[in-house]
Amino acid sequence: MAKIVDYKNLESDLEDIPMLQDFAKVYLRALDKGSKLDFFKALDELTGLGDQVLADWLNITTRTLHNYRTKSVALKPITKEHIVLLLSLYRNGIRTFGNKEDFEQWLSTKNVYLEQKAPKDVLVTFSGIRMVDHMLTVIKYGDII
């Protein structure tokens, strides 16, 4: 059964996520302990991806992922930063493609600029996320990637 996600509320929460290029704001947002946004829950709901994909992206085990989901384990700063970057990427991707479905289709399509890997396959590192975000910027300005 598919999850019902309130995208309007989630979209307004994402407005508070800094752009990937603003490294200082990303860093400070990842360290913000008083944040109203549950970063992991937002990523989980926004992507709707399987546990293995999210665990791979965050470089954690599925067991740790389940612990984050149930809040029995606090997010490590590096994991929180990774989530902030992924949320920022999703925000940019949805804006670039106009909707989540088209963005995720592009994320899943093999790309010649990534040596025939799909963009989603390089999201395991911060550099990979930034590279995919750069590709979105190129698309916005009329190039095809």
Would you kindly state where each structural domain of the chain is located, as residue ranges?
A: 22-140
pLDDT at 4: 40
pLDDT at 120: 94
pLDDT at 1: 36
64-96 confidence digits (pLDDT tens): 888 888 877 778 888 888 998 999 999 999 999
> CA angle, corner 112, sides to 60 and 137, nearest 5?
75
Q: CA-CA distances (angstroms) from residue 4 to 24, 105, 140? A: 34, 20, 29
2-19 confidence digits (pLDDT tens): 344 444 555 656 677 777
Q: CA-CA distances (angstroms) from residue 111 to 11, 49, 61, 92, 104? A: 28, 20, 27, 19, 13
Q: What is the mean pLDDT of residues 112-127?
A: 93
